[in-house]
Amino acid sequence: MLSILIPVYNYNVYPLVVELQKQCMECGIVFEILCQDDASKSNLNVFNENVNSFLNCSFITLEQNVAHRENRNLLAAKAQYEYLLYIDGDSVIIRDNYVQSYIANLNNFDVIYGGRLHPEKCPSQFQELRWKYGRFVEDKSAANRRKNPYQSLLFNNTIIKKTCFNKVKFDPILKKYGHDDTQFSFQLSVLKISICHLENPVEHGDIDFNVAYIVKTKESLENLIILYSQKKIDTEFVRLLKIYDLVKKTKSTFIIAKIYSILEKNILLNLQGVNPNLFVFTIFRLGYFCKQIQSKNL
């Protein structure tokens, strides 16, 4: 019935599996929990190996790194059952009826997204950028997500029918962090796959430090440029691309890229420091995007 697929990289997923296995057993469903580490060679895998002692659960580590997208594809290929529940390894189950809520809503939809939350308090002042962006931009109620069902889909804490997944899959060409969910959701929209937005969130447990998140954001913007330049995504599907399209029409790309280059040091000082500003983060993303576009002559 249900294959729970957990891509892992340098994280202890043992507590997550313990809770998921417990809830699956309580529901009395046919299930499997597959955890796959992407060749992180992490010391934490000593704990992850204990997953293999649980009924219907397994943990393996890949010999070579394949990146997050292909790790997800490989997990789907190994799954036995019709419904695939993807959960990132750094997720925390915060509801006792988490699995039961999904089981009760499997009919009539190809994809179900339960949502994601960030902790009420930021773990430290050096993690505020990722925490703020997650809590105040990404975290949305099911009612708000239903207004833009495809654009609001993050592929963590998501159930998808295996037949639907096989029609789309993740693009293994892109190896860097970011926008794999965006591309996947866009493909689902093209195929008009039915989506249910459910109030069944997990909590984001491993919040990036500011400096690390800026590096990841740059990588995600570089991925977005590839998707945009290769016409693998519609401009109207991504808010940043819609803004860039307006900038391009007004022939302001060079000006914004130049201004960003001048202000880059001060922008990064704000984002890497205490109390980063989300408006400054928006300026950073647009400015970096335009600068990269200019450097690539696109």
Among 206, 226, 257, the domain-final residue is 206
Q: How far is CA 61 from the centre of its chain?
A: 21
201 sits in the region (left: phi over 0; alpha: psi -120 to 50; else beta) called beta
pLDDT in tens, 47-102: 999 999 999 999 999 999 998 899 999 999 999 999 999 999 999 999 999 999 99
- Among 54, 24, 25, CA closest to 35: 54
Same domain, yes or no: 85 and 44: yes
Range of the domain at 96: 2-206
Contact 33, 24 (CB under 8 A): yes
- Where among 206, 233, 252 does a domain terminate? 206
User: How many structural domains comprise the chain?
Assistant: 2
Identify whether residues 202 and 219 lie together within a single domain.
Answer: no
User: Tens digits of per-residue pLDDT, 247-288?
Assistant: 999 989 999 999 999 999 999 999 999 899 999 999 999 999
- Whether residues 196 and 218 share a domain: the answer is no
DSSP state of 58: E
- Shared domain for 49 and 138, answered yes or no, is yes
Burial (Cβ within 10 Å: 0-12, 13-18, ≥19) of residue 142: middle
Do both 52 and 159 map to the same domain? yes
Choose the final residue of a domain: 164, 189, 206: 206
260 lies in the same domain as 193? no
> Do 177 and 34 share a structural domain?
yes
What is the pTM for the complete model shown? 0.92
Measured CA to CA, the distance from residue 67 to residue 70 in angstroms comes to: 6
Q: Are residues 16 and 148 in the same domain?
A: yes
